[in-house]
Amino acid sequence: MDTRFGGKIALVTGGRSGIGLATARRLRDEGARVFTAQRGEDREFEAISVDFTAPTKAAHAIKAVVERAGRLDVLVNNAGVMQEALVEDMSLADWERTIAINLTTPFVLIKAAMPHLRSTGGAIVNVGSIEGLGSNPKHAAYCASKAGLHGLTRAVAIDHGAEGVRCNAVAPGWIDTDLNL
């Protein structure tokens, strides 16, 4: 396998399953030292336990990676939640949880990571969704959160591209993961 990420330090949120696990494995296979951040442990990668329902506490994941590895080159904001409900049936708590995990936590992590990524010429990859560009029935909170993430991605790219920090988003369609069960 290619070693284009040889010597790079990467943090993948939600790296224990689905898209995050596949991304973490690919980065590792291409030479990166990979940390994952999620609730609980990870037997395959160096894990950092994070409760993404409390976004202000998520920044400790960046600090932990830098303390253990000395720097950060790649941040992959992948952790996410989705639930199906009509707006009228959705509780405010469910709306806020979705926005907190899918949009506010990436903002907090990007903010905490920016000084480190600026010094390494690093990259941010935000895992958005085609639902951030359109919509499906009963996915109001998810669509709103992913649309916001795509907007955040564009803003960070414009604000920090000249400093050598790349910020991009991918917009996967339906993929058979735990998120979609």
Tell me the pLDDT tens digit for each residue of 158-177.
999 999 999 999 987 876 65
Residue 23 predicted with pLDDT over 80: yes
pLDDT attached to residue 179: 53
Residue 43 predicted with pLDDT over 90: no
pLDDT attached to residue 93: 97
Question: How many C-beta atoms surround the C-beta of residue 134 within 10 A?
Answer: 12
Residue 14 predicted with pLDDT over 70: yes
Of 27, 62, 142, 160, catalytic: 142
Residue 146 predicted with pLDDT over 70: yes
Residue 17 predicted with pLDDT over 70: yes
pLDDT attached to residue 180: 47
pLDDT attached to residue 177: 59
Determine whether 134 is an active site residue.
Answer: no
Residue 75 predicted with pLDDT over 90: yes
Span 92-118, average pLDDT: 97
Give all strands (DSSP E) within the chain, no chain letters. Answer: 9-13, 33-38, 46-49, 74-77, 123-127, 166-170
Using DSSP's 3-state secondary structure scheme, residue 43 falls into coil
Q: To the nearest whole percent, how much of the chain has pLDDT over 70?
A: 94
* Alpha-carbon 91 to chain mean position: 24
Q: Cα(22)–Cα(117) distance, rounded to whole angstroms?
A: 23
pLDDT attached to residue 89: 97
Domain coordinates of the chain in residue numbers? 9-176
The CATH number of 9-176 is: 3.40.50.720
Taking each continuous run of H as one helix and of E as one strand, the counts in the chain are: 5, 6
